[in-house]
Structure 1
Amino acid sequence: MTATTSPNRVPQGTTGHYTAQPRGHWKIDDIPYHRIDRAAIEGNEDLFYLLMSASFVETGSDTYAANLGEHYAQYPQISDWLVQEWEHEELQHGASLRRYVETVWPSFPWQQAYDSFFAEYSQLCTVEELFSDRRLEMVARCVVETGTTAYYHTLRELSHEPVLTQLLGHIRNDEVGHFKHFLSYFKTLQQQAPIGRARIAGALYSRLKELRESDSDVALRHVFAHKGALFCTPERRFEDVAQRIYHLISTGLPADMAVRMLLKPLLLPPRLEGYLRGPISKLACKVLAY
C-alpha cells in the first residue's frame, strides 16, 4: 500500500514543502549552498552515487511514514510523531540532499531519475512488509535507524567538502534522535506486553540481513541508469560500480557505534551487553561485508 497525499504530506515526487520543524531544529536555509567548494566534490564518483541514492530514498520517505502511521494507528502518540515529526525530518533530508546534488551536478536529470526510481520503490513499501507484531516492528525500526546513522556517519567521514560535512552532520544527528524515539516506543510497548529476547534477537538479525538488499540498491540502479555522460566509462558495468560502493561503505562503517545501538533493544544488563559487544560486532561486520 503506497502513501496517499494529505494536506500535511508532501506529494510524491516533490520536495521542499513540509511543515516547519520544532524551534531549534536546523533548516535548509541554514545550509550555505552558495559556499560549496565544487572542486572538492564534483569529481568524486563514489559520493556522486552515494548522495544521489540517498536523496532518492529520503525523498520517498513519506511512503514509509504513511504505512507506519497506519500500522500504529491504535497508538496516537506514536502515529502522531511519525507523521508530524519523523516524516517531515526525513523529507527535509531529501530536499536538502537534492539541493546539494543539483548544485554540484546540475546536468543530472534528478526529477526524471527519481520518478523512475519511485515507480519501482513504491511497490516495495507496503504495510504487509512490516512485522505484524508492533513491538518487533519497533525493533526493526531501531535497526534501520542504526543503519542510516552509520551510513551518514560514514559519508561524513568521506567528505572533504565543508558544506557537505555540515549537512551530513545534521542528518546523522537527526537519525540518532529517530533511533532514540523508536527505542523509547519499543520500551513502552515491551512494558505493556513483554516478548522474549529470542524473538527480539531474531527480529534484529532478520532486519540486519535485509540491509544488504535495501532501498539503496534500487536507488543506485536508477542513478546509474540516468547518469548520462557523468563519470562515463563505457566498459564499466553497474555490478562493478555497486560492488565498489558497497565495499566502501561496509569497510567504513563505525562498527562499535552500530553494535552499541543494535544491542539496545535487547535490554540487557550492562555487564552482559559489554560481554556480547565483541562477538556481535564480528557478526555484524560479516553480515554487512561485500
Structure 2
Amino acid sequence: MRWAMDQIPYEEIDRERIAKDRFLFKNLVIASFIEITSDVYDRNLSEFFQGDDAVVEWLNNTWEPEELQHGRSLRRYIETVWPDFDWESSYERFRERYLPLCKIELLQETRAREMLARMVVETGTSTLYQAMSRYAHDLNEPVLEELATKISRDEVYHFEAFEEAFVRYKKEEKLSRSEIVKILYARLKEINNEDVNIAYEAIGEDENYEAFIQEVQGFAKKYYPYKMAIKMFMRPLGINQHAENIIASTLQPAFRILGI
C-alpha cells in the first residue's frame, strides 16, 4: 500500500471547526460504509475473474486491502470528530439491507464489460474524494484534505489497473466503440444508485434523501472536478488526448451548471 493509517495525524483535527458540519458528516459516513464493504465486492470479482491469476491476485492483495483501509481511515476520522455517533450499529443496518444486493449474478455479462463498469466506479470515487479534498481545504481542515487526497490517488491507480485489464479483454471480446458508449451510458444513469440511498437511511438522519441529493448537487457545482471526471469517463473510448481535452473543456461548464 502507498500509505498507512498511522500516517494520518488524527490527533491534529480541530473538532470544533467541523463538528457542526452535518453535510460533511453524512458524506463521510456513507463513503466509509461503502468502502469497508469491499471484501464482499472482492469475493464476487475474484470468482467472476477466476482463471485470470494476475487480476485475481491484484484484487486480493492490492485492491481489497486498499479499499478496506479507506473505509477504516474514514471511520476513524468520523469517530474522532463525532464520538457520539454509533458507527457500528449504523453500519450493521447498512449491511443488513445492502448485502442481499451484492450478488455475482448482478455483475456484467462479460469480463470486458465488468472491467468497464469498474472503471466507471473508480472514476466516481476518485473524483468524489478530490472534491472532498477541495472542500476540506476551504474548511481549513488539513487532516481531511490529506486523507481525501491520498484516497483519491489510490482510486486513480485502481482505475488504471482496471483499464489495463479492460483493454486486454476488449480485444478478446471485440467490443466496438458504439457498444462501449452504450455501457457507459447505462452506468452513468446509475450514479445516484441504491448503495448511497441505503447508506444514507442507515445513518438515521431526519432529512429525507432527496433533500440530501440536492445538497450534493450544490456541493458538486463548487467542488467537483468535472474535467477530470469527463476525461476519465472517455478513456475507454480510445479517443486521442488532444480530442479528449477539447471535449472535456467543452462539456465541463455545462456539467457544472447542471450540478451533475
TM-score, normalised with respect to structure 1: 0.82
Which is further off, 118-127 or 264-273? 264-273
C-alpha distance in structure 2 between counterparts of 1:193 and 1:243, whole Å: 37
Amino acid at match of 1:162: P
How far apart in 2 are the matches of 1:163 and 1:117?
27
Contact 2:217 2:259 in 1 (8 A): no
The unaligned stretches of length 5 or more in structure 1 are 1-20, 228-235
What does residue range 124-163 of structure 1 map to in structure 2 within 5 Å? 124-159=101-136, 160=139, 161-163=141-143
Check conservation: 1:143, 1:204, Cα contact below 8 A: yes
Query: Could you tell me which amino acid in structure 1 is paired with residue 122 of structure 2?
Result: E
Contact 1:151 1:249 in 2 (8 A): no
The residue number in structure 2 matching 1:238 is 208
Other structure's SS at 1:157 match? helix
1:266 aligns with 2:237: yes
Structure 1 residues 1-290: aligned runs within 5 Å: 21=1, 25-159=2-136, 160=139, 161-223=141-203, 225=204, 237-239=207-209, 241-251=211-221, 252-277=223-248, 281=252, 289=260
Give, in whole Å, the separation in 1 of the partners of 2:122 and 2:182.
Answer: 17
Q: Which runs of 5+ in 2 are unaligned?
A: none
Q: Which structure carries more helix by proportion?
A: 2
Per-residue CA deviation, residues 198-243 of structure 1 (Å, 9 max, x unaligned), is: 11111111111101224222111111x1x6xxxxxxxx53245423
Q: Residues 254 and 47 (structure 1 numbering): CA distance in 2 closer, same or farther, change over 3 Å?
A: same
Task: Name the CA distance, whole Å, in 2 between partners of 1:283 and 1:221.
Answer: 31
Q: Tell me: CA distance 1:186–1:239, structure 2 relative to 1, closer, same or farther (3 Å).
A: closer
Contact 1:153 1:169 in 2 (8 A): yes
* 2:218–2:259 Cα contact (<8 Å) kept: no
1:107-127 deviation line (CA, Å, top 9, x unaligned)? 011100000001111112111
CA distance in 1, matches of 2:175, 2:17: 50
Contact 1:154/1:253 (<8 A) preserved:
yes
Q: 1:178 and 1:287, CA in 2 relative to 1: closer, same or farther beyond 3 A? A: farther
CA distance in 2: counterparts of 1:288 and 1:48, whole angstroms: 21
Moved more, 92-101 or 184-193: 184-193
Q: CA deviation at 1:281?
A: 4.8
Q: State the 1:275 CA deviation.
A: 4.9
- Structure 2 length-normalised TM: 0.91
Please list the CA deviations of residues 151-171 of structure 1 after superposition, one character each: whole Å capped at 9, or x if unmatched. Answer: 101111111211111111110
Q: Give the CA RMSD over aligned residues.
A: 2.0
For residue 51 of structure 2, give the secondary structure of its aligned residue in structure 1: coil
| Larger mean Cα displacement after TM superposition, 175-184 or 190-199 | 190-199
Matched residues, percent identical? 36
The letter for the 2-side match of 1:273 is: E
| Displacement of 1:282 | 7.0
Indicate if the aligned counterparts of 2:112 and 2:166 stay in contact, CA closer than 8 A. yes
Flag the 1:241–1:103 CA change in 2: closer, same or farther, 3 A: farther
One-letter code aligned to 1:222: A
The worse-fitting range, judged by mean Cα deviation, of 263-272 and 92-101 is 263-272
Q: How far off its partner does 1:136 sit?
A: 1.0
Which has the higher mean CA deviation after the structures are superposed, 71-80 or 239-248?
239-248
Give the match for residue 232 of structure 1: none
1:64-112: CA deviations, max 9, x gaps?
Answer: 1111111111211111111111001000001111011001101011100
